[in-house]
């Protein structure tokens, strides 16, 4: 598996060579508790499927996701040089008295921190939880104030990259407008856009993708199922973590009907859709079970006829 050619391929910046990466928010107990052995099995299933790019963050379970990912990779005996790990800064793990802590887990939370010192503290904790000596891709996580980020967090990220602590730097957000500004004003290698380059939401394609292409910034698409509706419009009719409107459900069902007429699963088309944009080099999909890993990994090789893409575009 390899990324398609791009202005600045992600293979050059973070070393990952997969089209799909595993999003590790679910194994950090996102919305549902996940047992320790189940988290191990999910990461092992991803490795078994050839996935070597893993995306996590301190915010996912207040450190639980990072800790579980690091432990699972260690238990699997993975050569660190063969995997790429992305994590994030911008939210500090704190205890009940709001004091920063390194380990994370039960009884702690995260708070926003876009300061340079906050970035350094966050990276130190992430390295400890992941059990590694380096981070391949370090994202700024949903900065609430872009101006503040440009003053504090971004220069700290650049310094960490220059010092070799991280291989590449980026930013991950849901909203394309501030992310586009970061692409234009910060020296980023990669950005991750969640839920805005999908079969139901194309807003990330309007300004962000052209800006990324112009600046030679790699793009990772996340949230490709828009919280569930593009995986299962009937059983999981959620969009942006809320119950989807009747109009969105109707659109998703029409997309699903079109896919079924061509013998394609809607989820497979949803996972592959972002890769049709030349700027997008990878897709990250979250999973909490081996079965979910198998389902999205199968999308990479699913046969999707051009006629279907044309029909989906028309819808």
Look at residue 93 in the predicted model and tell me its pLDDT. 84
Q: Identify whether 310 is part of a domain.
A: yes
Number of structural domains the chain divides into: 1
In angstroms, the Cα distances linking 171 to 27, 36, 218, 261 are: 22, 29, 11, 38
Indicate the pLDDT class of residue 294, thresholds 50, 70 and 90: very high
Q: Is the pLDDT of residue 105 over 70?
A: no
Higher-confidence residue of 106 and 279: namely: 279
Active-site residue (options: 60, 238, 241, 273):
60
Residues paired with residue 69 on neighbouring β-strands, in sequence order: none
Q: Identify whether 113 is part of a domain.
A: yes
Q: Identify whether 234 is part of a domain.
A: yes
Q: Identify whether 34 is part of a domain.
A: yes
Q: Identify whether 5 is part of a domain.
A: no
Active site residue 31: no
Indicate the pLDDT class of residue 5, thresholds 50, 70 and 90: very low
Q: Identify whether 309 is part of a domain.
A: yes
- In this structure, of 99-103, 119-123, 172-176, 284-288, the range with the lowest mean pLDDT score is 99-103
Residue-range definition of the domain harbouring residue 268: 10-314
In angstroms, the Cα distances linking 68 to 103, 117, 236, 290 are: 12, 25, 26, 15
Q: Is the pLDDT of residue 97 over 70?
A: no
For the entire predicted model, the pTM comes to 0.92
List the structure tokens of 189.
């290698």
Compute the average pLDDT of residues 289-310: 95
Q: Identify whether 140 is part of a domain.
A: yes
Distance of CA 304 to the CA centre of its chain: 24
Query: Domain with 219 in it: what CATH number?
Result: 3.20.20.100
Compute the average pLDDT of residues 288-306: 95
Q: Is the pLDDT of residue 181 over 60?
A: yes
Q: Identify whether 86 is part of a domain.
A: yes
Look at residue 17 in the predicted model and tell me its pLDDT. 55
Look at residue 4 in the predicted model and tell me its pLDDT. 34
């Amino acid at each position: 598996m390899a990324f398609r050619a791009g202005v600045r391929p992600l293979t050059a910046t973070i070393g990952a060579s997969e089209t799909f990466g595993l999003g590790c928010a679910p194994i950090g107990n996102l919305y549902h508790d996940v047992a320790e052995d189940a988290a191990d099995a999910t990461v092992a299933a991803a490795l078994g499927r050839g996935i070597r790019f893993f995306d996590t963050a301190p915010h996912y379970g207040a450190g639980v996701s990072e800790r579980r990912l690091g432990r699972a990779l260690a238990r699997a005996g993975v050569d660190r040089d063969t995997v790429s790990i992305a994590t994030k800064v911008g939210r500090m793990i704190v205890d009940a008295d709001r004091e920063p802590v390194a380990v994370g887990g039960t009884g702690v939370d995260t708070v926003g921190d876009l300061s340079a010192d906050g970035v350094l503290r966050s990276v130190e904790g992430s390295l400890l939880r992941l059990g590694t000596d380096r981070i391949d891709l370090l994202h700024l996580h949903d900065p609430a104030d872009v101006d503040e980020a440009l003053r504090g967090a971004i220069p700290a990220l650049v310094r960490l990259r220059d010092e070799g602590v991280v291989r590449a730097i980026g930013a991950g957000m849901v909203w394309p407008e501030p992310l586009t500004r970061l692409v234009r004003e910060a020296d980023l290698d990669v950005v991750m856009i969640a839920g805005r380059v999908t079969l139901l939401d194309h807003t990330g394609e309007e300004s962000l993708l052209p800006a990324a292409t112009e600046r030679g910034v790699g793009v990772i698409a996340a949230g490709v199922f828009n919280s569930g509706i593009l995986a299962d419009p009937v059983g999981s009719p959620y969009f942006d973590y809320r119950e989807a409107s009747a109009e969105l459900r109707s659109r998703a069902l029409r997309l699903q009907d079109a896919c079924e007429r061509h013998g394609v699963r809607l989820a497979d088309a949803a996972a592959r859709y972002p890769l049709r944009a030349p700027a997008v080099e990878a897709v990250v999909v979250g999973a909490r079970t081996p079965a979910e890993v198998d389902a999205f990994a199968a999308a990479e090789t699913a046969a999707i006829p051009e006629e279907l893409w044309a029909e989906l575009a028309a819808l």
